[in-house]
Chains A and B, each alone.
Chain A
Amino acid sequence: MTQTELPTSDQEDLRLLRESARTLFERAGGSGRSRKLRDSGGGWDADMIHELAEAGVFGVTVPEENGGLGMGLAAGGVIAEEVGRVIAPEPVVVTVGLSLGLLRRLCPDHAKMEQLVGGETVLAVAWQERGPNGGPAEASCRYADGKLTGGKAWVVGASSAQGFLVVAQGDAGPVLVLAQAGADGLSVDARRQADGSAMGELSFSGTPAEQLASGDTVQDALADAVSDTTALAAAELVGLSARAFEITLEYIKTREQFDKPIGSFQVIQHRAVDLNVMCEVAQSGVREALGLMDGEADPKVRARLASRAKARAVTAAKKITRDAIQLHGAVGYTDEFDIGLYLNRALVLSAWLGDDAYHRRLWFMAREAEGAA
């Protein structure tokens, strides 16, 4: 079911959710708050985590019996868009999509569920590994006798999280385990990203960890949670793009050269229109994809829809944030103007979980496989 086909009451719920998320972020200081956090070394604001939790943000897709709002991915997308609009550094998409995405599928009764939903803790998820050529590789991190050995890469929020959900190879197949931050034999190499956040490279040598789940269900849950997260990241990029466009539109209306606002020049106007169209197509396409994912059980189809969303969102965000710099002219190249923050955040969100070219490839392969089936 596409979002436009949703019953009016559901659309109304989404509208209210959007309004309350927007108000919450704006009251907290909007993008100015995000800049301050970046300037003070990255990471996020603990008070904000609590506020978001109180508003039900982290539990948006968690069933009501587990303390969540029991809404769908479409609702998660609404929140992610608002996160993107103010480039908030809090790990909303990671928590909703990955941490809680894994726990609600694998161990919904674990105490960490409630803590995550309640904002009492933040867990980073370590599932990817880096190969010898620097790119992603097959998982080889081992879990045996209650201890982890090996490495993990591209762990979002690794510097500030209270613990790590790690997908590793156990004696009898894949396992999901929980390691505490600062545990023995755990080292975290934080690689600073364009937006001031840190992406962690973890290394375990006999690090103690608690097993939460095991077996093929771990792989299945991971794949589906990654689809969700990919789609939510797409929604975050949509919100980011929309706001970056608004900022740029405002700028070209006020910046004067040759005694006129530069937005009165046709070449600028047509470029602005193209960005606007790109933005609207991305918003509609991504919202539709998330809505369809809510009504779809087949994980392969859900993965294809997530790839559709991310491919579109990255294409749009890249184009919009880069053209936004051009339309700002020289000041766009300074750190002083907010538009650069949007470009930098878009760079990180685009690369994370795969960019547009990568997802078009996945999308095409998924489509071929469905056609052959």
Chain B
Amino acid sequence: MMTDWNAMSDADFRKEVRGFFEAEYPEELRNLPHRPKFAEIAHWHRKLHAKGWVAPAWPAEYGGMGLNAAKLLIFYEEQQRWGVNRGRDMGVQMVGPLIIKFGTQEQKDYWLPRILSCEDIWCQGYSEPGAGSDLANLRTRAEIDGDDFVINGQKIWTTMAHDATHIFMLVRTDPDAPKKQQGISFLLAPMDQSGVEVRTITTLSGETEFCEVFFDNARTPRENLVGELNKGWTMAKALLSFERIFIGSPSLAQNALGQLESFARGRGAFDDPVFRDRFAQAALDVEDHAALYARFADQLKRGETLGADVSMLKIWVTECFQRITELMIEAAGPDGGTIGPLQVGNVGVDVLSSFYKARPGTIYGGSNEIQRNILSKAVLGLPG
């Protein structure tokens, strides 16, 4: 008998989720400063899988929790509150929903259980060197050859590709289509083959979570096409609605603010009235953002679809997150360039790592400049 989580009150559901995380989530994995490889979090994933909570958004018939939007928000809020790592969730967040919506019965039967168990670990092959903000410009080709697609080209910014068994990708299947958004397909491919080469990219913070993936006559069976040929663009876009509020959630900025406050207090930065004012600005920016976020969340809870205006959450919160981490650097004074945790009392605060962590937010998920383009046209109705 499946639990009908949606029938619970919000408060009871929150209690249930919080209780589970607090009791079961391994202490050493709380607020991990880096993106873990699967092996590092496998013990947690097993618990989550046994509980049936790997895929909160999936319908129960596919092994998900079947949460509605309101419950889903609560689930994620609690996850972030307790510093629970999202795990290797590309499969659950991106491929699974796409297969559920557009896949064949065979594809569902085969892939979905393997996503849940993490037998397959997925990475996302969207961006290319010439297709970042202008994603539709992508050039990686897939051509039919007998029972296979043959793939040639290059993907980049592929998060954790070096720890993935499979890649889901947007590829060009019709180079002669009249518009570049047409002629793109959604394809699944195994990573473990001679035609696929992965190179990690070292980031500013010294991490290697991003990769380049090169395809040189790599192959994948034709049945790994999801949805119709040349319809991949529309499908990929259809999935973004919920992600857009999630990406604008206040939690990253809220956590950083808490860190800033304890660090600044320990360092005596609040003795400086200028710092106090800038802290107050940042704190109020976070509070008022949370109020705006609540307005959008409320829309979801009422069962309404979010409009393009939800993009404003992402713009505000990612820029706010950056300002907060910049204040941390400032409060660190001459230690502002020091790698690793800075001791304040008996806790260590890694200000540099927070600073770096805040940088990509304004670039990924549609850069903030792209978000401004979207808002100006779709919300403000500005021409051109």
Q: Which residues of A contact B (CB under 8 A)?
A: 2, 4, 249, 252-253, 260-261, 263-266, 268-270, 272-274, 276-277, 280-282, 284-285, 287-288, 308, 311-312, 357, 360-361, 363-364, 367
Contact = CB atoms under 8 A, between A and B. Distances in A.
19 contacts: A4-B294, A4-B295, A249-B380, A253-B382, A261-B383, A263-B384, A269-B380, A270-B372, A272-B376, A274-B372, A276-B312, A280-B309, A281-B288, A284-B291, A285-B291, A285-B292, A287-B291, A288-B291, A364-B280
Given A264-B383, A281-B292, A360-B284, 16 more contacts: A2-B291, A260-B383, A263-B382, A263-B383, A269-B382, A270-B369, A270-B373, A273-B315, A277-B315, A284-B291, A285-B288, A288-B291, A361-B280, A364-B277, A364-B279, A364-B280
Contact of B294 (A2, A273, A308): A2
A176 B367 CA distance: 57
B276 A364 contact: yes
A282 B37 CA distance: 41
Contacts of B373: 266, 269-270
B165 to A, nearest CB: 41
B384 A260 contact: yes
Contact of B316 (A277, A308, A363): A277
| Residue picked from B292, B298, B373, most chain A C-beta under 10 Å | B292
| Residue picked from A277, A357, A361, most chain B C-beta under 10 Å | A277
B287 interface: yes
Contacts of B312: 273, 276-277, 280-281
Which 7 pairs between the two chains have the least Cβ-Cβ distance?
A: A285-B288, A264-B384, A269-B376, A288-B291, A284-B292, A284-B291, A360-B280
B70 interface: no
B150 to A, nearest CB: 40
B305 interface: no
Contacts of B283: 367
A288 B294 contact: yes
| Residue picked from B309, B315, B383, most chain A C-beta under 10 Å | B383
Contacts of B315: 273, 277
The dominant DSSP class at the B interface is helix
B205 interface: no
Contacts of B376: 269-270, 272-273
B277 to A, nearest CB: 6
Contacts of B285: 281
Contacts of B276: 361, 364
A357 B280 CA distance: 9
A34 to B, nearest CB: 26
Interface string B271-309: 000001101110111011101101101100000000001
A287 B298 CA distance: 14
B282 to A, nearest CB: 10
B174 to A, nearest CB: 31
A269 B372 contact: yes
Nearest to A360: B280
Interface string B351-384: 0000000000000000001001101110111111
A165 B373 CA distance: 52
Nearest to B294: A4
A192 B373 CA distance: 43
A284 B294 contact: yes
B280 A281 contact: no
A75 B373 CA distance: 35
A356 B237 CA distance: 41
A312 B280 contact: no
Interface string B1-13: 0000000000000
B284 A312 contact: yes
A252 B382 contact: yes
Contact of B372 (A261, A273, A311): A273
Contacts of A276: 312, 375, 379-380
Contacts of B294: 2, 4, 284, 288
B316 to A, nearest CB: 6
Contacts of B284: 285, 308, 311-312, 360, 363
